[in-house]
Amino acid sequence: MHHPRELLQLATDLALEAGALLAERQPQVRDFVGTKSSPTDMVTEVDTASERLIVERVLSARPDDGVVAEEGSRREGSSGVRWLIDPVDGTTNFLYGFPAYAVSIAAEAAGETLAGVVYNPATRELFAAAKGHGATLNGSRIRVSAETELAKALVATGFGYDPTVRARQGATLARLIGGIRDIRRAGSAALDLCNVACGRVDAYYEQGLNPWDHAAGALIAREAGGLTEFLEGPGFAKPCIVAGTPGVFAAFRELLIAAASA
């Protein structure tokens, strides 16, 4: 058996260690910047250093596990456990010193996320969850908001790197914003999901995420009492994750589908 709490402890230790690296290197980070899929999809020397640290520590502690990480680390394992690693979620924020970036680490088995940690070194906030054991922020239990009115829901979102994709996402946003309280766009999918978990926002949606972007944060949101779902179909060029408090989830889901499909 794979014990979620044991996996969570390792994920926590690694996230804190990688987060310390990020905090130390952030002041010099703009000197070492490259790009990936587009000029706005950036990667730094610190992204790769953080990923290397996490992967090496995972395989030292659990040499039979698999790994999939954002900056290219891939390893098939034999244990049945696979680690999903984002060494810096919110790289643009990291570059600018905007305090919304995080290390995100999740462990899954048989397609099910068992443990997840999201650590923001700028604020020293550690979000964590083990399946079936609830979610915490710096060790204290957290819950999603009690909001039940869609018109009062504060919603987070994110945008793709491709300019034409962003333009379509902006049009969807324009069609739905009149039905909610307001929008927040912080720049880190992992932290957006954690903000759902602790009630800082009532819902969140974003298209085109990779597994390492959402695995840890989505588990944390669910363990805090939230709902998550992936939407596909007309209006969604790529699968769109939706997360939210149960009181507004269904109504927001309908509004989003209508806005994306119009």
Sign of the torsion angle spanned by Cα atoms 207, 7, 138, 18: negative
State the first-to-last Cα distance of the chain, in angstroms, to the nearest integer.
47
**Which secondary-structure segment (H or E) carries 14?**
helix 4-25
Say what the pTM is. 0.94
Q: What are 5's two structure tokens?
A: 């709490």
DSSP 102-169: EEEEEEEETTEEEEEEEEETTTTEEEEEETTS-EEETTEE--------GGG-EEEE---SSHHHHHHH
Spatial distance between the Cα atoms of 89 and 99, rounded to a whole number of angstroms: 12
> Which residue type is seen at 23?
A
Can you list the domains of the chain with their CATH numbers?
A: 4-141 (3.30.540.10), 150-261 (3.40.190.80)
Integer CA distances (angstroms), 76 to 66, 110, 197, 215, in order: 5, 14, 31, 18
Q: What are 200's two structure tokens?
A: 């800082």
pLDDT in single tens digits along all 262 residues of the chain = 579 999 999 999 999 999 999 999 888 765 555 554 444 444 678 888 999 999 999 999 999 999 999 888 889 999 999 999 999 999 989 989 999 999 999 999 999 999 999 999 999 999 999 999 999 999 999 999 999 999 999 999 999 888 888 899 999 999 999 999 999 999 999 999 999 999 999 999 999 999 999 999 999 999 999 999 999 988 898 999 999 999 999 999 999 999 999 8
Contact between 204 and 155 under an 8 Å Cβ cutoff? The reply is: yes
- Tens of pLDDT, residue by residue over 132-170, are 999 999 999 999 999 999 999 999 999 988 888 889 999
